[in-house]
Amino acid sequence: MASEEGSRSDSQGADTSDVSSNRHDEDLVVQFAAAAQPEMMRAAEKDEHYVGQVCEACYDAFRHTFGTRLAVAYQNEMKLAGRVLYYLLTTGAGLQTLGEEYCDIVQVAGVPGLPATPARRTLLVFYQTVLPYLAERLSARAASRGMYLGSEDGEDETSTSSQTSRVEETFGREETSSGSSGSVDPGNNMEIRQRRRAPLTWRLRQAWMAALRRWPQILPSVREGLVLLVRTHLMLFYFEGLYYHMGKRAAGIRYIFTGRPSQQRPRYQMLGMFLLIQLTFVCGHWLTRTVFPSIASSMRLRETNPSLSAVGSQGIAVIDEDGGKVEEKGPSRPSNMWAESEATASSKCPLCLSPRQHPTATPCGHVFCWNCVAEWCNEKPECPLCRAPVSHPELVCVYHADF
């Protein structure tokens, strides 16, 4: 009996020691606090410094191997190779980067603070290295392709439209002939189905070409939107202090501090407040530059044209490129609204997509904002739309033009 009681007491003591050790481990896990903003920013600066050194080493190795000419041509690819190499050997392998090791911070995923899985780490490396490179290359390629397509003559459009009509007419004849025939072979049915798909693919291709033509015009707005997105992300980082990089926010990876805790851990809420005020002013400036002028111009059109007040009257007077008046055939309200939107869109600058400020005409007849076309001519002395040669003395401000 004494031996049984002794063994029970030993087992109970072992159980209590295991429970206490588990609680101690849980306390150790909970003890790690979230990393502060200064630590994450210092780690990011350190990593950028070491990434620059790795990129320079890759560039020098490529230059000594293939020559200076190819090295200059592929310097962006060498930067990409250096960044991918650095983050694959650190984050991709589940190790701390040199900046994270310097600041005593560790990457974790989720609320419990568990280590990031290999899939999350690979996704983070892709977001930090490959995705910005692909976005930049695709954007530049689409812009160059769009400018090339925009410089084509109107004869190509007429030829493509006639080709479209011929193709549709051909397919229409094939459909009628196939419907009139009583029995058709399965092979012929397959050919007819494949031919029927051709107009759809052709329309999709034309839609893609139209998007490419519009891309050089909307690219400045897209870049401005990306800048606002980055500032908004930085403002959220200053307020909450969780994600310094957008890639870490997308991958759901946070930082915990494993060093010796200090009493003074500053926060940057005040900087976040300043950024919030700045973003408010930027959004207000955008509204006053785009939305409010369009509303004011529509109100001026209604005041100058009394026919617009009556719903079933003549409609909006639209001026074509030659200066002649184009009559609207539909007296209904939707047609008037459509014509009004077209008139408002025609008064916008093709470069900034905003109502023209100080309208300026080029010798070829296209009209832009003065600042937009002047900055364009500083880089390229040609018209942004038709690529005709343009110099600064040839730009003419047309203040009193009614268009």
Q: What is the pLDDT of residues 231-257, one digit of tens each?
A: 999 999 999 888 999 999 998 899 998
> So what's the pLDDT on residue 131?
92
Does the pLDDT of residue 316 top 90, yes or no?
A: no
pLDDT, greater one: 201 or 361: 361
| 336, 353: one domain | no
Q: Say yes or no: 260 and 363 in one domain.
A: no
Say which DSSP state 392 is in: G
Please compute the mean of the pLDDT values over residues 49-59 and round it to a whole number.
95
Is the residue at 358 inside a domain? yes
Q: In terms of DSSP bridges, do strands 325-326 and 318-319 run parallel, antiparallel, or are they unpaired?
A: antiparallel
CB 280 within 8 A of CB 231: no
Q: Higher pLDDT residue, 250 or 346?
A: 250
Same domain, 228 and 261: yes
In the numeric block, which tokens belong to residue 382?
């040609």
Instruction: Check pLDDT > 80 for residue 145.
Output: no
Q: What is the pLDDT of residue 66?
A: 92
Mean pLDDT of the region 340-360: 71
Report pLDDT for 197.
56
Is 8 inside any structural domain?
no
Name which of 343, 395, 341 is nearest 369 in CA terms: 395
Residue 113 located in a structural domain: yes
Residue 217 placed within a domain: yes
pLDDT at 310: 45
Cβ of 103: how many Cβ atoms within 10 Å?
24
Q: Do 216 and 317 share a structural domain?
A: no
| 195 shares its domain with 246 | yes
Q: What is the pLDDT of residue 127?
A: 92
pLDDT at 195: 52
Residues 231 and 145 in one domain: yes
Q: Say if residue 308 is in the same domain as residue 383.
A: no
Please tell me the predicted confidence (pLDDT) of residue 259.
82
Q: Give the 3-state secondary structure of residue 360.
A: strand
Verify that 368 and 336 share a domain, yes or no.
no
**Nearest Cα residue to 35 out of 266, 236, 256, 242:** 256
| Beta pairing partners, 114 | 109
Residue 90 has phi, psi (to 5 degrees) of -110, -75
Residue 15, pLDDT score = 52
Top mean pLDDT of 51-65, 221-235, 333-347, 383-397 is at: 51-65
Domain that residue 314 falls in:
291-347
- Does residue 97 fall inside a structural domain? yes
Count of CB atoms situated within 10 Å of the CB of 7? 10
As a whole number of angstroms, the distance between CA 322 and CA 157 comes to 20
Looking at the structure, tell me whether residues 115 and 260 fall in a common domain: yes
Indicate the pLDDT class of residue 388, thresholds 50, 70 and 90: confident
What mean pLDDT comes out for the span 205-227?
Answer: 79
Of 380, 381, 360, 382, residue with least CA distance to 369: 360
Low-confidence winner among 27-31, 98-102, 232-236 (lowest mean pLDDT): 27-31
Checking if the pLDDT of 9 tops 50, the result is: yes
Look at residue 156 in the predicted model and tell me its pLDDT. Answer: 53
Q: In this model, does residue 157 exceed pLDDT 70? A: no
Least confident of 23-32, 41-50, 89-98, 256-265: 23-32
CATH at residue 355: 3.30.40.10
- 10 Å Cβ neighbour count for 377? 18
Same domain, 353 and 342: no
pLDDT of the residue at 214? 79
- The Cα-based distances of 115 to 29, 31, 87, 255 in angstroms read 12, 16, 17, 10
Does 395 reside within a domain? Answer: yes
% residues pLDDT > 70 (the chain): 65
Taking residues 139-156, report their average pLDDT. 67
pLDDT for 265 beyond 50: yes
Do 342 and 256 lie in one domain? The reply is: no
Residue 208 lies in a domain: yes
Percent of the chain at pLDDT exceeding 90: 21
pTM score, two decimals? 0.56
In a domain, 236, yes or no: yes
Q: What is the mean pLDDT of the chain?
A: 74
User: For the ranges 31-45, 105-119, 184-198, which has the lowest average pLDDT?
Assistant: 184-198
216 and 255 belong to one structural domain: yes
pLDDT bracket for residue 79 (50, 70, 90): very high
Confidence at 306, pLDDT banded by 50, 70, 90: low
Q: What stretches of 4-113 adopt beta strand conformation (E)?
A: 33-34, 105-109
Residue-wise pLDDT tens digits, 364-375: 888 888 888 888
Residues 6+ apart with CB under 8 A from 242: 34, 249, 254
Which of 105-109, 211-215, 247-251 shows the lowest per-residue confidence on average (mean pLDDT)? 211-215
Give the residue with greater pLDDT, 293 vs 63: 63
Could you report the per-residue pLDDT of 166-199, keeping only the tens digit for each?
545 554 544 444 444 444 454 555 555 555 555 6
- Total domain count, the chain: 3
